[in-house]
Structure 1
């Protein structure tokens, strides 16, 4: 409560200063000639805007500043078992955010089974770009079953989606759009935003080249798992796996999946997706790491015995060998509630 009180006092002070600026300006207006009064009011308004921008998130460097070091540290210490995805994400985001004049928006398509880290990585990217992270008003998340539930309304959804993106990028060119559950999206809907992802300087006076689009999907997960299984059966080290071993089969699998929102999409056909990012199935050791990390997030003392119990409690496949976790790390938090 004391912390809340201090914050309230600070906000009250800021509001007082804000009001004081305009009251002072009002007094001065009556004391000067019209031209001078206009200058005073302008100064007061400028100070008012400065105070407002200090208190409220705005589309400027105070609130949007890319931190490459933080992203790299987070990927190395918080994302487990995803060496391929980590390398792609870091290089892609670094290259895009340090380019003052990108030719097109950054478009990433993240694929893999549930619980492998796709949503988590989206949050890490947002944290590295926006001071408010996923709570930023410039980060927009669309969930297929929530925002686009009815196939009969697809034409309305296309129009709404175009308006939402245009309006938000007009408001801030450094906007981020995350589309979750792409595998549940109605085929053809995502094609409505193709112009915004293409190599255009401006469309109707709006530039989309500094925006970020991230697609999250379980589609292609089977292809990724098959590659991972092949490596395991051949006795090859998981860390030897590279993007070239996964990308071609992954993009084809996604493009030809009739149940996916990316089925025969022009975004793939026209090469507008910059990277297809594969998230590998997680093994027992990665689940243990997830459990230890979750304990740290709860400010609990790391307990390897508990982490081991949590990891062993999950379901793995193939059934005989029990190599990969069926749900990745998705149920770790609920398991910890039971064991701690």
Structure 2
């Protein structure tokens, strides 16, 4: 982030010096400082006239090359997302295909489901960072956490108005806005239906087009059903990688639609098929937990000690009780485990 701001500041200074011309080279630093101040106002007008130049040192609502988005997503998923073959396949293709379409018929809507620690927040973060360099800190990326922003069922009417106003205002400012809804399973029932018009196949609503926006929903709802299907495959001697997306999408959409605690209970978003992909995050096995530990060690600059990795992984808890096949916290507590073992 500091490098990004430094680069933008450098470009801003370079642009102002360019505005001053060759005479600036003969000035002493103090004179240049006064000259820069006097040139700033006129240069700003010039910058506005050159949006591509301006966007080098200030964040813009502008598209990054689709090839770069795909490359960044794939690279991050390969390095840091483990045990989620369907997620890697679907998200890269869905996001890349959507961004490459100059005239999408509707916004992109992704619903991510699975146990805590399986990678949902990581994937939403990577989607944001692949499109905007500042990621979740970008002014064009908006994150809602149900327990923080929508804590009271009795205020659903007020929340609906606020949510519609917020989305309308931000998409008006930037068509390529990203909206992330975390803890969907804790969202008051029927609240999410208020944004259904923004996700549907409308060219415009009151003069605003929402078709270039991206909506991402994160939920623990459906995790039991994902585990049930994955465990059944394991008991039949099949690999989880053999599970097709079509089966999991149908299973998930039905499960969350009929679950009163899903945030999507009898939701028009599902009934009207405006969610493009229901993406399952499988529970992580011990081999995947070890991969998380190794990745965290490398990110901290520590040597990878296989004995230590195994010891940490085996200390974590797993389910079902007899098989001890899946980590009940995924990779969520890996960093705290390493803090304990590598306390210096």
Same fold (TM > 0.5): yes
Q: Deviations over 1:254-274 (max 9, x none)?
A: 000011211000000000000
Partner of 2:287: 285
CA contact (8 A) 1:21 1:44 kept: no
Q: Deviations over 1:130-166 (max 9, x none)?
A: 1222221111100000001111111110000001101
Return the alpha-carbon distance in structure 2 between the equivalents of residues 8 and 193 of structure 1.
Answer: 35
Return the alpha-carbon distance in structure 1 between the equivalents of residues 7 and 241 of structure 2.
Answer: 47
Task: Determine if the alignment matches structure 1 residue 136 to structure 2 residue 138.
Answer: yes
Task: Determine if the alignment matches structure 1 residue 146 to structure 2 residue 148.
Answer: yes
Distance 1:114 1:255, change over 3 A: same
Task: Determine if the alignment matches structure 1 residue 193 to structure 2 residue 208.
Answer: no
Task: Determine if the alignment matches structure 1 residue 23 to structure 2 residue 23.
Answer: no
Q: Give the aligned CA root-mean-square deviation in angstroms.
A: 2.6
| Alpha-carbon offset, residue 329 of structure 1 | 0.6
Distance 1:235 1:262, change over 3 A: same
Aligned length: 322
Partner of 1:117: 119
Q: What secondary structure, in the 3-state scheme, does the structure 2 residue paired with 1:67 have?
A: helix
Among 215, 218, 226, the residue aligned to 2:217: 215
CA contact (8 A) 1:138 1:172 kept: yes
| Alpha-carbon offset, residue 12 of structure 1 | 8.8
CA contact (8 A) 1:190 1:262 kept: yes
Distance 1:20 1:49, change over 3 A: farther
Return the alpha-carbon distance in structure 2 between the equivalents of residues 94 and 12 of structure 1.
Answer: 31
Partner of 1:34: none
Partner of 1:32: none
Partner of 1:257: 259
State TM-score, norm by structure 1.
0.87
Partner of 2:31: none
Distance 1:127 1:12, change over 3 A: closer
Partner of 1:325: 327
Return the alpha-carbon distance in structure 2 between the equivalents of residues 64 and 13 of structure 1.
Answer: 29
CA contact (8 A) 2:106 2:212 kept: yes
- Structure 1 gap ranges (5+): 27-40
Q: What secondary structure, in the 3-state scheme, does the structure 1 residue paired with 2:279 have?
A: strand
| Alpha-carbon offset, residue 73 of structure 1 | 1.8
Q: What secondary structure, in the 3-state scheme, does the structure 2 residue paired with 1:71 have?
A: helix
| Alpha-carbon offset, residue 71 of structure 1 | 1.1
CA contact (8 A) 2:16 2:40 kept: no
- Structure 2 gap ranges (5+): 20-33
Return the alpha-carbon distance in structure 2 between the equivalents of residues 44 and 226 of structure 1.
Answer: 59
Partner of 1:36: none
Q: Deviations over 1:49-94 (max 9, x none)?
A: 6575443212124799952112112222211000011111111111
| Alpha-carbon offset, residue 244 of structure 1 | 2.4
Task: Determine if the alignment matches structure 1 residue 180 to structure 2 residue 182.
Answer: yes
Return the alpha-carbon distance in structure 2 between the equivalents of residues 165 and 226 of structure 1.
Answer: 36
